[in-house]
Amino acid sequence: MTNSKTASSLCCSNPPNLSATSGEGTVVDDFGGIKSYIAGSVDSKRAVILISDVYGFEAPNLRKIADKVAACGYFVVVPDFIHGDPFKLDDSTRPFPVWLQSHTTEKGFEEAKPVVAALKEKGASSVGAAGYCWGAKVVTELAKAAEIQAAVLLHPSLVSVDDIRGIFFFSSGYSLSKEKKSVPLVNQLKLRLFKNNVEMASFKNL
């Protein structure tokens, strides 16, 4: 978790092998105005939006997670908020700060609101969202605006303590000991938001 304008080094240093055909679900050209991977029953009253990291919605593991959530009875949408333009680690002409100028989390937030609206129009009575790295900031903004009923941040980047003040959420991180810049924010969360009433746990092989 970091408050800087750069994504986690661990997030960016291990890019997935993207696959447009991965997953058991379906890719639709327009869900709330955004090309999306969808999984699960469209008749479900419970919906989840999964928001990718900087590598986008074609990451096979992300789609596997969507399929697993869908198997639990949820209708899942994985929107392509980066519009087929994932961050490319080996592109020296477009480092992350430059890429981010074209894919701001503010833009992601604005594009996410019609997706939430489309889910509600389809009959979803509750909508939650989970975001990875870059996507965690978008989820945070959705929660702040009361667009969703549940928020999960997974190894979030670009998120500050003030961003999540007053929001109840579950946050997951990894290798915090290797990312020293993450530790101060975690400590602030424990002290300022939860008065140190936080239980930290480590899970291996996830």
pLDDT tens, 94-134?
999 999 999 999 999 999 999 999 999 999 999 999 999 99
What are the chain's domains?
A: 9-193 (3.40.50.1820)
Which pLDDT score is estimated for 190?
Answer: 59
Q: Which residues contact 82 (CB under 8 A, 6 or more apart)?
A: 52, 54, 56, 57, 103
pTM: predicted TM-score of the whole model, two decimal places: 0.81
- In whole angstroms, what separates CA 172 from the centre of its chain? 11
CA-based nearest residue to 117, from 107, 104, 127: 127
User: 21-46 pLDDT, tens per residue?
Assistant: 999 999 999 999 999 999 999 999 99
